[in-house]
Each structure stands twice: as C-alpha cells, then as structure tokens.
Chain A
C-alpha cells in the first residue's frame, strides 16, 4: 500500500473507494506493523472512522474540503482536543489536550481524517527517536536502525505506508533529517508560515511545523492546508500563501542552484556525497545552473543552535511543574519536593540535560557570553544566507552526514548525535524554508537531499523537488515490511 495523497483524493472524488474503506485499510496496516515499528503513541480508530464517515457524506454531497477523507497522522506534540497529547514524555502521559492546535483545526476544516498521534523524541529533543517515553521507533528500511528524529514516528509511518501523509515539526532538522533517513519527502517552511499555536514549544524562535509525504506534490497539498496567518500566534506571518500545487511543474530551466562548499567538506560520508552528485547531475540535465557558493559560518551553527534552543526550552518547559496538569509525583512533602520530584520523575535524561544547559546559559554572569553571543552568531549565519541568495535561487546539499545509524549507536555520545543536524540546523537559525527528498540509497538505507529556499519561497522548493521527482523514482521506493 503506497498510495499518495493525490491518488487518494482522486480515488475518493471518482468514487473508486470511500474514506471509510481506506481509513480501515490504514488502521489495519497500523495494527499489523506498528508493534514492530512503534510509529504511533495513540491510534485514534474511532475518531478516524467517524471523520471518514463525515468526509464520505460531504464528498457525496459535493461540499467536501480540500483534503476530505484523506487519512493523516499527527506528531504527538500538536494539541488535539479530547485526545492524549504526550510529547512522548511521561510528564504528559496523562494529558488530554483541551483544545486543537491551529494546524489540527485546519486539517479538520479541510475534512482530513486523523489516524493517530505519532511517536517522537521527548519534547522534540533528539535526532534518533530514541528519547521517547514510549520507546524507540524502528526505521522501516531496516528495523535495527533509527528513523531519525525528532519526528521519527511520522517519517517512519509515511515510509511504511501506515499513513499517506503526516505532520511533523522542525526545530533543528526534525522534519528533514527523519525524512532523509526514512526515504520520504518532508518540508520545513519559512518560520512564521505555519502557526505554532497548539504546537508544544521546544525552541520557540526555531520551531516550525510542516508535512511529510511520499512526494513534493503531496507535500504541496498538505502544506497548503497548514499554512497561513494565525491571530493566535504573534510570530505567524501575514505573507499571502500562494497556491503551492499550481506552482508545480514550472520547470527548473535556468534555475540557479548553489552548492555550499562547507556542506561537502570533511564529515560527509563519501557514499552520500556520491549519491548527491548523481542527483545534481540530474538537475543539471533538467537545465539547472549549478554554482559553487560558500556559507562560511556553517561551523558555528551547532553551538549557536544548542545555546538558543536550550535557553528557550529551559523556560518553555517550566510550565510542566505538576501543579495544573500532567504528571505529579506521589505524596509530595512540600512545594519544592513537588517541583523537584514531578519534574525529576516526569522528564527523560535528554530533556533534563537541555533544561540544565539552557538554565546555565541564561544565568546571571553567563548571559552575555552565551545567549547574547549566540544571538550575534545567529545574525552572522543569517547574513551568510542572504549574501548567498543574492546569486542563487536555491541552495542544495546533503540532508545528513550519514544514513540511518543503528539504534543505540550514539546514545552515549550526545555531541556525535548533535552533529547529525549540521546541515539542517542553520536554516532554523535563519528562519529559512528547507526540504528533504529521497535521492538514492547507501547500504540499503535511504539518502536524502536537502533543498534550501529564500524566505517564503516554499513554492520554488516544491517545484524543484517535483521536477526532480518527475524524472526519478527514488520517492516511489517502498521498504519490505515484516509484521
């Protein structure tokens, strides 16, 4: 089962099958394969079937929304009214969200069906999905390997055909890196394009929601519904949202694509470099004007990111205190005990590590050296990109330095884990849109290529990716699953 969102829409419109039928098919696949893959934290069968029935009725009446009847999965950090929203943390294991995130409300309005909530690294902190209270997610291409993170459950679900599309969030690469490791297409839009309201915050100035799907064409459809100004998110943009699907297929003749030399330097697995080279040749054949560029401050992006993201998360996660919702320790003796044990028992190790580092970075006497310095570096990184975009339309490189690694291989080495995000992280610091699409394999595991666009040029990214996918079939490859 490897139907695309587009195919499902066409099939539903033509009456080839009903939403209830395909929803049942997906639920059956989830029941069959999820025990091995662990993509889902919650499967919302009843809601899904009810929504599917509603969608079928709307389709029959002819007043259906843009995604009516299309089953989707949502990362478990989007608040969903009446449904557990855990952020893969023990501290929210009992949390039933009292409201819908704007992204979820948009999908509901468009008539989409929610299959369930997907697994992730706890509070979106991680690059392997090993930091989940609900256990690791397995990569569908090789279940001994990680799917990437933090949106690993969503990426693996789409790769395994447990959902035709899924939502994710990307703070330092959490859509693009798992998309690359699972061989699916994923896009992180410009900061401000998608409302953050109801997305449980990790690093507020970096977080951005986006879709996973089998193709750029499908991502265009899903991103259309997710995007737009939201009065409830002061950082959401009033930039008009173009018709992403209409922008596809314009060709890339003469499109100037820059290759940052820093993205092809030491640290990149040679086999990945070779796969990317082949993809570049393909784009050149399609008429792209490939140029060498430089992003000199790339090396600063990881330390900058980890100061900014951790500082913000140390504050964002203060609300999880055992007072109003979420996990509360047993028999607290006093207020301090309530705080210490609720948080100590409720958060996992990586979350605690980041809260502590962030708290340190913001402390009196250290603020200037860390947080303020990071803000200055952030501006330099942004300036690098702005200079580059004076000469090119898109920037291209590998999404990750390696393919999916074995589960457990990096758990004792956080720095090596953090280096997984070397190519993705600077976009979040700059607020730029980026996407990852599958361009080949290495050792039987998918290789992702990253495209980076200028601000609010998601349409340009999707068009280039679509052109590539029109002449290649890497995005159509599906793993063989064992239940």
Chain B
C-alpha cells in the first residue's frame, strides 16, 4: 500500500441558486410535480431559442473572484451533442473553449496543521438535464424535465489531491465557499451539489499519471471518501495482479460500497462541441468584475485569518468556526453580545453545542439555543453568577427549552454563593464535622484540601464559588 500514490481530481457540479433557469424564464424550485416547471424552451420545442440569465453569469463571476481566478472578458457557450431522453434538445448548452472562470485555487486543511493549495483548472456554466425515472412505470421510463435548464457551475480541479481525505477536504471547502457566496444551497440529497472524482494510482516517485477512472453518482462527503478509497484499492489490486486499469466511467453503489463500470472510453460519446449560434458571446467588463468583487462577503479564508489575528483564536478553532457560514454567523452573533468572551464562545460552540447538535442531527441554524442565549450563559460564568460546572446544567436546560440562562439560574436556584459569611458558615460546619482530616492537613498533608473543597461544594449543592471556598478554607485550616 505504501508503495502507491493516488492522484485525485474532482469535478463538482454546483446548482446555482437563481430563481429562473439559465436559458428560460421557468422556475428552478425543487420538488414540483413532474413537468410543471418546464416551458417550451426547456422542452426543446421546435423553434424556441435560449436567452441567457445574466444572474447565472454574475454568480459564476462571484465564484471566480472568490478563488482568485482569471475571469476573461469574453466567454462562449457551446453545444455538447448527445442523445438521451432527458436531454430535450439532443444537446446540452455548456462551455468548452473560453469558460467564464479560468485558473484559480483554494486552500484546504485536511488535518490540524496541514495546509495544501489545490488548483482549480476552470469553472464553466451549463444547463442541467432532466431526470429519467426508471422505477415508476413497468417497462417504461418516465421523463421529468423540471430540472432541465437549471443552471450549473461545473468546477474542475487540478489532479492535486493525494488521498480521499484530501479530496473530501477540498469538496467541503468548495461546498462552504459556494454557500458563503450564496450562489448554491449546497443540498447534496436534492442534487444541488454533486461530486465526480477522477482517480488514478501510480507507484511513488513515478512522474507519469496512471490511467484514471471517473467516479459518478456520489451524493455525500462520506460516500465520496468511501468511493475513492474503494477505487484506489481496486486499481492497486488490479495492477498488483498484473492487470491494467482501463479508462472508464464508474458508478458508486453506496449500498454495496463499491464502484461499477458504466461505460468505457471506447463507448464514450464524441460530443461534437461547437459554439452555440443561438447565443452571443458573453461580454464581461472590468467594471462588472469590480462591482461583483466589491459586493463579495467576507470569505472563509479571510474570516479565519481575522479570527486568528484580531480575536486571538487558534488556527484550528478558527478553521472550524469558519468551515461553514452558519457556524461563523452563529459565533459572530454571540460575540456581539459577549465581546470579551471570544475563547469561551469558541470552546462552547465547537464543544458542547457541536456535540448536542450532532447528537440531535441538527444544523446550527436550527439550534434550540440561540447565539444570544449562549452569550448570556457565558457572561454568567464570567461574572461568577454560576460556575463552569453549573453552566453545563444550565446549557442542558436551555437545550430542553426551559428558557434563557438567567431564567433557569433563577428558577432552579443555581446562583453561585459568593457571600463570604455564608461560605464561612458552610466551611465551619465541614471543619467541625471532620476533625480527623483537619489533623491530617495540619500535619502537612496538603492533598486533604481537595476533600474539604468537595465537601463544601456538596453542602452548597455546587453553588459556592469554588475560588472563594478554596481561599477561605486555606485560611481557616491554617489558623
């Protein structure tokens, strides 16, 4: 295994979040009754013509600017010709030469402390096809053209990744980016974000790339990792058995966790690309690019750097907090209410909150604890109203919907005891009840202090301020 190196490139199709289709006025909303969102243009009726939705172009430029790519002043749509029942015109309008977005790059951190730059070859606009439905009618195939003409941005990476883990980190990075940019909803189940992986293997030190297989039909990051790992092992086994890898397209079967041959290179279509004469070249001016650049939101990489330099967060926490825009938005909203509690907020969000969300299978946007609620909780730790330990209880109660931190502290009587008179009284009781341990302490057995602290805390039901307890105990025991 260690003799081998895998080489991976991804083709990601991100469905752009335009309201109407890329070449017609029909709606792009998901889940409508079959063929109710397909107009004459989407159906490829005789005589109809495509008209470009400029919003799709703007979204593509947004992506291009965000990955620091070349965005050319002229871009051309081309026809990709092939027959398929869910491709109404017998060609897909795509881009071949002169895509909107040229060479760019992103940075990924597949593991703590690991930073890699991944090249992006190009990103181009194209229309989606419809769907063929094979299991609804016996002996027949149904065609739903609602999706036909939905705008896609196809993002093609360089073969820069060397493991499934890196490929997943890259895919997650692009996923995060398109959502930051608000150009794609990123919903993988509905097919708004689809990954195809080109995988090949070669012996370490070898310069020449091995023959690649293209993996399709991957609809989650988990499956992406599994499909690539399966494919790497399949190719290594083939070569080690003296056989060779053939260039082909393979489908990933999640149920059996394997890839299967779909079509070989010999069976591949000659797509006969040529510029679409129905569409004029897209002209993009410097002013268009500048306007889009100026309107960009803060991107994950910039955000991360700001968290590190301005907020003093660790590289790792900054990476995790900025990995998706909802988490970053949650953090920043909470920080607005508790500006001094940056590190605490980060720990709570990435720790207790992330754990609870994960367990409940919820997105952070749907968390029952709002950023303001979390900020209040942390303020109460900081102003010594409650201890960190009690805070866990309050957090749990907030999660269960019992209200805000202050309400719960009040209702459950969790306020920390900071009245030194009351604490002294508790301590006196404990000292009186444990003369043996007092002797031990006075004989120099400092460890016994812990026992006394524990006893006092127990007596106070955890509410006594631990710092004060410590100090007063020490004074009393020493006297």
Task: With CB as the reference atom, state the residue of chain B lying closest to A365.
Answer: B270
With a cutoff of 8 Å between Cβ atoms, the chain B residues found around residue A324 in the complex are: 43-44, 88, 143
Q: How far is the CA of A318 from the CA of B46 in the complex (A)?
A: 10
B40 close to chain A: CB less than 8 A: yes
With a cutoff of 8 Å between Cβ atoms, the chain A residues found around residue B280 in the complex are: 234-235
Tell whether A359 pairs with B272 under 8 Å between CB atoms, given A318-B81, A319-B90.
Answer: yes
Task: Say yes or no: B83 contacts A234, CB within 8 Å.
Answer: no
Main SS of chain A's interface residues? loop
A407 close to chain B: CB less than 8 A: no
Task: With CB as the reference atom, state the residue of chain B lying closest to A203.
Answer: B277
Task: With CB as the reference atom, state the residue of chain A lying closest to B38.
Answer: A324
Q: How far is the CA of A158 from the CA of B49 in the complex (A)?
A: 30
A354 close to chain B: CB less than 8 A: no
Task: Say yes or no: B51 contacts A97, CB within 8 Å.
Answer: no
With a cutoff of 8 Å between Cβ atoms, the chain A residues found around residue B399 in the complex are: none
Residue in contact with A196 in the complex, picked from B43, B49, B89, B273, CB distance below 8 Å? B49
Q: How far is the CA of A363 from the CA of B273 in the complex (A)?
A: 8
With a cutoff of 8 Å between Cβ atoms, the chain B residues found around residue A85 in the complex are: 46-47
Task: Say yes or no: B46 contacts A234, CB within 8 Å.
Answer: no
Task: Say yes or no: A95 contacts B46, CB within 8 Å.
Answer: yes
Tell whether A319 pairs with B49 under 8 Å between CB atoms, given A234-B279, A234-B280, A324-B88.
Answer: no
A79 close to chain B: CB less than 8 A: yes
With a cutoff of 8 Å between Cβ atoms, the chain A residues found around residue B50 in the complex are: 234
Residue in contact with B272 in the complex, picked from A87, A232, A363, CB distance below 8 Å? A363
Task: With CB as the reference atom, state the residue of chain A lying closest to B89.
Answer: A319
Task: Say yes or no: B90 contacts A315, CB within 8 Å.
Answer: yes
A257 close to chain B: CB less than 8 A: no
Task: Say yes or no: A200 contacts B46, CB within 8 Å.
Answer: yes
Q: How far is the CA of A199 from the CA of B150 in the complex (A)?
A: 24
A362 close to chain B: CB less than 8 A: yes
B441 close to chain A: CB less than 8 A: no
B79 close to chain A: CB less than 8 A: yes
Task: Say yes or no: A367 contacts B274, CB within 8 Å.
Answer: yes
Task: Say yes or no: A235 contacts B40, CB within 8 Å.
Answer: no
Task: With CB as the reference atom, state the residue of chain A lying closest to B143.
Answer: A323
Give the shortest distance, in Å, between A430 (CB) and chain B (any CB): 15
With a cutoff of 8 Å between Cβ atoms, the chain A residues found around residue B49 in the complex are: 196-197, 232-235
B68 close to chain A: CB less than 8 A: no
Task: Say yes or no: B81 contacts A319, CB within 8 Å.
Answer: no
Give the shortest distance, in Å, between B466 (CB) and chain A (any CB): 73
Q: How far is the CA of A239 from the CA of B272 in the complex (A)?
A: 33
With a cutoff of 8 Å between Cβ atoms, the chain A residues found around residue B44 in the complex are: 319, 324
Task: Say yes or no: B90 contacts A318, CB within 8 Å.
Answer: yes
With a cutoff of 8 Å between Cβ atoms, the chain B residues found around residue A99 in the complex are: 40, 45
Q: How far is the CA of A323 from the CA of B83 in the complex (A)?
A: 11
Give the shortest distance, in Å, between B276 (CB) and chain A (any CB): 8
Convert B128-144 into 0s and 1s, putting 1 for each residue whose CB lies closer than 8 angstroms to a CB of A.
00000000000000010
Residue in contact with A204 in the complex, picked from B45, B88, B270, B278, CB distance below 8 Å? B278
B102 close to chain A: CB less than 8 A: no
Task: Say yes or no: B79 contacts A315, CB within 8 Å.
Answer: yes
Task: With CB as the reference atom, state the residue of chain B lying closest to A201.
Answer: B47
B292 close to chain A: CB less than 8 A: no
Tell whether A79 pairs with B270 under 8 Å between CB atoms, given A319-B90, A324-B88.
Answer: no
B91 close to chain A: CB less than 8 A: yes
Task: Say yes or no: B270 contacts A364, CB within 8 Å.
Answer: yes
With a cutoff of 8 Å between Cβ atoms, the chain A residues found around residue B48 in the complex are: 197-198
Main SS of chain B's interface residues? loop
Residue in contact with A97 in the complex, picked from B47, B81, B90, B143, CB distance below 8 Å? B47
Q: How far is the CA of A364 from the CA of B273 in the complex (A)?
A: 9
Q: How far is the CA of A324 from the CA of B141 in the complex (A)?
A: 13
B350 close to chain A: CB less than 8 A: no
Q: How far is the CA of A203 from the CA of B277 in the complex (A)?
A: 9
Task: Say yes or no: B277 contacts A312, CB within 8 Å.
Answer: yes
Task: Say yes or no: B52 contacts A319, CB within 8 Å.
Answer: no
What is the size category of the interface that chain A forms with chain B? 35 or more
A325 close to chain B: CB less than 8 A: yes
Q: Which of B78-128 contact A (CB under 8 A)?
A: 79, 81, 83, 85, 88-91
Q: How far is the CA of A257 from the CA of B278 in the complex (A)?
A: 33
Task: Say yes or no: A232 contacts B47, CB within 8 Å.
Answer: no
Tell whether A200 pairs with B47 under 8 Å between CB atoms, given A234-B278, A364-B270.
Answer: yes
A344 close to chain B: CB less than 8 A: no
A321 close to chain B: CB less than 8 A: yes
Q: How far is the CA of A311 from the CA of B275 in the complex (A)?
A: 11
A82 close to chain B: CB less than 8 A: no
Q: Which of B272-291 contact A (CB under 8 A)?
A: 272-274, 277-280
Tell whether A231 pairs with B51 under 8 Å between CB atoms, given A99-B45, A204-B278, A319-B88.
Answer: yes
With a cutoff of 8 Å between Cβ atoms, the chain A residues found around residue B79 in the complex are: 315
Convert A302-345 into 0s and 1s, putting 1 for each residue whose CB lies closer than 8 angstroms to a CB of B.
00000000011011011111011100000000010001000000
A101 close to chain B: CB less than 8 A: yes
Task: With CB as the reference atom, state the residue of chain B lying closest to A231.
Answer: B51
Q: How far is the CA of A325 from the CA of B90 in the complex (A)?
A: 13
Q: How far is the CA of A121 from the CA of B85 in the complex (A)?
A: 28
Interface centre among A204, A205, A311, A318 (most CB of B within 10 A): A318
Task: With CB as the reference atom, state the residue of chain A lying closest to B132.
Answer: A335
Convert B461-474 into 0s and 1s, putting 1 for each residue whose CB lies closer than 8 angstroms to a CB of A.
00000000000000
A15 close to chain B: CB less than 8 A: no
Interface centre among A203, A234, A367 (most CB of B within 10 A): A234
Q: How far is the CA of A95 from the CA of B40 in the complex (A)?
A: 14
Task: Say yes or no: A362 contacts B81, CB within 8 Å.
Answer: yes
Give the shortest distance, in Å, between A231 (CB) and chain B (any CB): 7
Q: How far is the CA of A235 from the CA of B77 in the complex (A)?
A: 13
Instruction: Please report B residues at the A interface, Cβ cutoff 8 Å.
Output: 40, 43-52, 79, 81, 83, 85, 88-91, 143, 270, 272-274, 277-280
Closest A-B pairs by Cβ, 10 of them? A318-B90, A205-B277, A362-B272, A204-B277, A198-B47, A319-B44, A200-B46, A79-B47, A200-B47, A319-B89
30 interchain pairs (CB within 8 A)?
A: A87-B46, A92-B46, A97-B46, A97-B47, A99-B45, A197-B49, A203-B277, A232-B51, A233-B49, A234-B280, A235-B280, A311-B274, A312-B277, A315-B79, A315-B81, A315-B90, A315-B272, A318-B81, A318-B90, A318-B91, A319-B44, A319-B46, A319-B89, A320-B46, A321-B83, A323-B85, A325-B45, A362-B273, A362-B274, A367-B272
Besides A235-B49, A235-B280, A314-B81, 18 other A-B contacts (C-beta < 8 A) = A77-B47, A85-B47, A98-B40, A200-B46, A201-B278, A203-B277, A204-B278, A234-B49, A234-B50, A234-B280, A235-B279, A314-B272, A315-B274, A319-B88, A321-B90, A323-B85, A362-B81, A371-B274
